[in-house]
A and B are shown apart, each in its own frame.
Chain A
């Protein structure tokens, strides 16, 4: 077994253990033994209801969203050859959030259950397409970061505008809670709605490793190695938009996972951009599951919002990365 596959296995084991802990942890503690009973003998016991109706969707969704953010972060950093890229920094997440807030504002969520994911994904797609058009002209690190900040600021400004015009305190509250990101009260329906899009996004991004490795020696050289660059960029941009859009549409905006995870996997697994795709998905799932456990720790009185926890952990990591990767960015 190579060190890489050993580490992946360890990461997977850690993910499963954290998942089981997350399932058992909460106002009502369910021991792994009780879990086994609920799993093997179907019943309507309170334990079974809490487990299947409340905690399992939450844990599975957290894993899927974390994996999506980690994978998209690794793919974007690879294709943009920029260690500071992630769906949040380049404005994809906030554009998805803008789409979702618009859907909430116009009350479309009530009449059409797919309104939120569809609007969120459209927002993400618009932002990524714009970014792609810019990068076709000038793919310098500085340009992409600046354009990303621009998109992100514009989306945030428009979100504020929509909130400013909110029809009722209720819809305003919906928007705020949604923007802070949460896995609370998510059901199997939410999971099932997001899953197809997330899986399509994964499917598009997971096979780009070879292209990402090739592009690390320059776009022209990658093309002369037989890599279809247009296809590579399209898969990553559309894959990110669909999967992150779907993730944001059910969980709200969750920052910093996509940014920080690839840096962790680069240290633990490999420096090759193509070799850290699956490890980043595993690590993203692990970190988000852990963060979700933290939101339920009793110290805050009220349950914390997930986006708050990931940002609190992620922002210092972000600063650390900025100070320690300056020589790689040039």
Chain B
């Protein structure tokens, strides 16, 4: 095994079944340090299940997932939490906590049950507030936040863990275009400066714009993993998403638009 193979996140031949249903079928993929990788595929393709498999939230039928050469299944949960943070889809907030306290939850992996946050924890919380532009929100109750503010706060909680790897499940769902771009910028900044990001996206335009590589899943199988240019081709779009795609560039920005296949979309 070369040094290159040891660094990063390596998913090898992962199979996941829930009841009788086979959710993931022999999926293998990698995420390298510094990368922002998009996980795309139609609804029910197994994207969220793959994230949950990596995070150890579901029990695999077979396969291995290694981070920097260490099997994640063998790690203590708090050690794993220091390496990987999870931004859940539409993360619930059950009590009207202050923004600052919600972000401080990210430090839990570093604290024992009774331990109060120390200087390092406070520094990490400040950093997270800074990079997500949440400083002005710190005293607010999370129940009073707008959708965009809430998305940033939840991202800040993820970043405050100090974990190099962030796994985000549709972090831009139900956000307006400005806040979608803002969240993607934060994730990209994290990938470049502190680790790597694996992000589930439905917006293929954002995926093409921000991701270094894309992992395309369809019906629990890995179709391909490559640069957006290679993944978002007509064949993949037709087979996996059942839509046609047009891509063009004005020399500076890349554009992507989906439209019905010639045979149309059944109602």
- Identify which of A22-30, A34-42, A170-178, A222-230 touches chain B: A222-230
A221 to B98, CA, bound (A): 18
Q: Are A328 and B96 in contact (CB under 8 A)?
A: yes
The answer, among A81, A214, A273, A327, for a CB contact under 8 Å with B108, is: A214
Question: 1/0 per position for A202-238, CB-CB distance to B under 8 A?
Answer: 0000010110011111101101111110000000000
Q: Which of B132-151 contact A (CB under 8 A)?
A: 141, 143
Q: Does A6 contact B (CB under 8 A)?
A: no
A327 to B108, CA, bound (A): 28
Count of B interface residues, CB-CB < 8 Å: 37
Query: Shortest CB–CB separation between residue B178 and chain A, in angstroms?
Result: 25
Question: 1/0 per position for B94-108, CB-CB distance to A under 8 A?
Answer: 111110011001101
Q: Which residue on chain B has the smallest CB distance to residue A211?
A: B113
A224 to B105, CA, bound (A): 11
A213 to B106, CA, bound (A): 11
Q: Which of A215, A221, A224, A271 has the most CB of B within 10 A?
A: A224
Query: Shortest CB–CB separation between residue A25 and chain B, in angstroms?
Result: 38
Q: Are B161 and A225 in contact (CB under 8 A)?
A: yes
Q: Does B42 contact A (CB under 8 A)?
A: no
Q: Are B113 and A210 in contact (CB under 8 A)?
A: yes
Taking chain B's interface residues, is the majority helix, strand, or loop, or is none over half, making it mixed? mixed
Q: Does A190 contact B (CB under 8 A)?
A: no
Count of A interface residues, CB-CB < 8 Å: 23
Q: What residues on A are CB-neighbors of B95 within 8 Å?
A: 81, 216, 271-273, 328
Q: Are B91 and A221 in contact (CB under 8 A)?
A: yes
Q: What residues on A are CB-neighbors of B84 within 8 Å?
A: 224
Q: Which residue on chain B has the smallest CB distance to residue A228?
A: B77
Q: Are B88 and A271 in contact (CB under 8 A)?
A: no
Q: Are B57 and A217 in contact (CB under 8 A)?
A: no
Q: Are B86 and A221 in contact (CB under 8 A)?
A: yes
Query: Shortest CB–CB separation between residue A92 and chain B, in angstroms?
Result: 21
Q: Are B114 and A207 in contact (CB under 8 A)?
A: yes
Q: Which residue on chain B has the smallest CB distance to residue A77?
A: B95
Q: What residues on A are CB-neighbors of B96 within 8 Å?
A: 271, 328
9 smallest CB-CB distances across A and B, nearest first, come from A226-B78, A226-B81, A81-B94, A224-B86, A226-B77, A225-B108, A226-B109, A216-B94, A218-B92
Q: Give chain A's interface residues, CB within 8 Å of chain B.
A: 81, 207, 209-210, 213-218, 220-221, 223-228, 271-273, 327-328
Complex A-B: 30 CB contacts under 8 Å? A81-B92, A81-B95, A209-B113, A216-B94, A216-B97, A216-B105, A217-B92, A217-B93, A217-B154, A218-B88, A220-B52, A220-B55, A220-B57, A221-B86, A221-B91, A224-B56, A224-B57, A224-B84, A224-B85, A225-B81, A225-B108, A226-B76, A226-B79, A226-B108, A271-B95, A271-B141, A272-B97, A272-B101, A273-B95, A328-B96
